[in-house]
């Protein structure tokens, strides 16, 4: 009996503490808990173009000699662009967002970032970082704009853009190159396009709903097909552009038999401008613009938006913006779509 008691005491002295017996396995440490920053209730902030949006970042305590740094994560160059730095008393703005951002500062613990007149390029991921020596912490938030993705190619045919030309072409049509997430979402909503196009991060893709021979073959499953990263200077493809509704804007149609020059003048006579491709797509998507009439647009193309498909409006079964391509600008056969901004 004494021998058993002695062995039991030796085991208790040499055994690991109970807490260590049930420790998390090596290689999967518990995520560090935030000490100074509050976890945001919602990691995604939804907004509209032209609106004012606030990305929340609130401290639970104020450490000594701290700074808060806001930055935007840029997928195109895999970097972060600093937007604003504050120490609670003073702040400094940086970069192109500088004129449109400020700290909400509704109380001494509030370091939330407010963006006014939200633009297309503002969408994306943001980081609020507390800089405090060895105890740096950060929270990530996403600013999301409801929008529409559309394929775009110039008047001289498909596969004419290098990356920089594709980026510029989208911007000229009141849009920007789409992100992969935007293109993927558009595919889930029915975007089916057989021509490959650039997206914002410099990769090339095309979305397929209906598998077919000219688009990778019938045996491949539907999906967003990828060409991967390509040479931004030498390789040439189409573009996938993203645009969003602009508060207070309107697109409308003027009937007539106009050539391109007359179409532009007709819009100006009404205090408007001839609409860009992105503006027509936005009106189709968010204002349910539905017309069976081909109309000139600013790039010299002729298109018309259909929300209720019908036999005499192209005969296609799905809603969309139909295109007549780029007819001669001297042809007097179409009306025009005009745009009025806020």
- Domain range annotation of the chain: 37-145, 147-243, 246-340
The predicted structure's pLDDT at residue 30? 52
The predicted structure's pLDDT at residue 215? 86
Owner of token pair 């503002």 = 122
Residue 164: left (phi > 0), alpha (psi -120 to 50), or beta?
alpha
> What is the CATH code for 37-145?
2.60.40.10
Largest CA distance in the chain: 112
The predicted structure's pLDDT at residue 77? 64
- Domain 147-243 class, CATH top level: alpha beta
Cβ atoms 152, 173 nearer than 8 A: yes
Number of alpha carbons in the 13 Å side-chain half-sphere of residue 231: 4
The predicted structure's pLDDT at residue 46? 95
User: pLDDT tens per residue, the chain (342 residues)?
Assistant: 333 333 333 333 333 333 332 234 445 455 567 888 999 999 999 998 999 999 999 999 888 889 999 999 986 666 889 999 999 889 999 999 999 999 999 999 999 999 999 999 999 999 999 998 767 899 999 999 999 999 999 999 999 999 999 999 999 999 999 999 999 999 999 999 999 999 999 999 999 998 988 888 888 889 999 999 999 999 999 999 999 988 789 999 999 999 999 999 999 999 999 999 999 999 999 999 999 999 999 999 999 999 999 988 888 888 999 999 999 999 999 999 999 986
Residue 131 to residue 256: CA distance in whole angstroms: 62
The DSSP bridge partners found for residue 129 are 69, 138
Two domains, one topology: 147-243 and 246-340: yes
Superfamily of domain 246-340: Mannose-Binding Protein A, subunit A (3.10.100.10)
Cβ atoms 281, 243 nearer than 8 A: yes
* 3-class DSSP state of 259: coil
């Amino acid at each position: 009996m004494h021998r058993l008691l002695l062995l039991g005491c030796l085991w208790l002295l040499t055994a690991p503490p109970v807490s260590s017996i049930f420790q998390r396995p090596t290689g999967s440490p518990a995520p560090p808990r935030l000490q100074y920053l509050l976890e945001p209730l919602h990691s995604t902030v939804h907004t509209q173009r032209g609106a004012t949006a606030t990305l929340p970042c609130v401290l639970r305590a104020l450490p000594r000699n701290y700074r808060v740094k806001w930055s935007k994560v840029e997928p195109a160059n895999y970097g972060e662009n600093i937007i604003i730095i504050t120490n609670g008393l003073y702040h400094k703005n940086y970069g192109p967002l500088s004129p449109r951002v400020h700290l909400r500062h509704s109380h001494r613990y509030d370091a939330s970032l407010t963006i006014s007149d939200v633009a297309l390029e503002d969408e994306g991921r943001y980081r609020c970082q507390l800089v405090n020596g060895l105890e740096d912490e950060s929270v990530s938030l996403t600013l999301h704009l409801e929008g529409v993705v559309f394929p775009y190619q110039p008047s001289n045919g498909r596969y004419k853009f290098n990356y920089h030309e594709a980026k510029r072409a989208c911007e000229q049509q009141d849009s920007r190159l789409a992100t992969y997430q935007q293109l993927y979402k558009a595919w889930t909503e029915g975007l089916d396009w057989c021509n490959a196009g650039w997206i914002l991060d410099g990769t090339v893709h095309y979305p397929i709903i209906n598998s077919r021979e000219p688009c990778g073959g019938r045996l491949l499953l539907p999906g967003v097909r990828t060409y991967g990263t390509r040479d931004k200077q030498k390789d040439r493809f189409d573009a996938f552009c993203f645009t969003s509704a602009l508060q207070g804007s309107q697109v409308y149609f003027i009937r007539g038999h106009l050539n391109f020059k007359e179409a532009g003048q007709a819009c100006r006579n009404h205090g408007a401008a001839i609409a860009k491709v992105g503006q027509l797509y936005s009106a189709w998507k968010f204002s349910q613009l539905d017309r069976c009439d081909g109309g000139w647009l600013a790039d010299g193309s002729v298109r018309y938006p259909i929300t209720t498909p019908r036999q005499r409006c192209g005969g296609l079964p799905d809603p969309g913006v139909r295109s007549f391509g780029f007819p001669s600008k001297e042809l007097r056969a179409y009306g025009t779509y005009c745009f009025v901004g806020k």
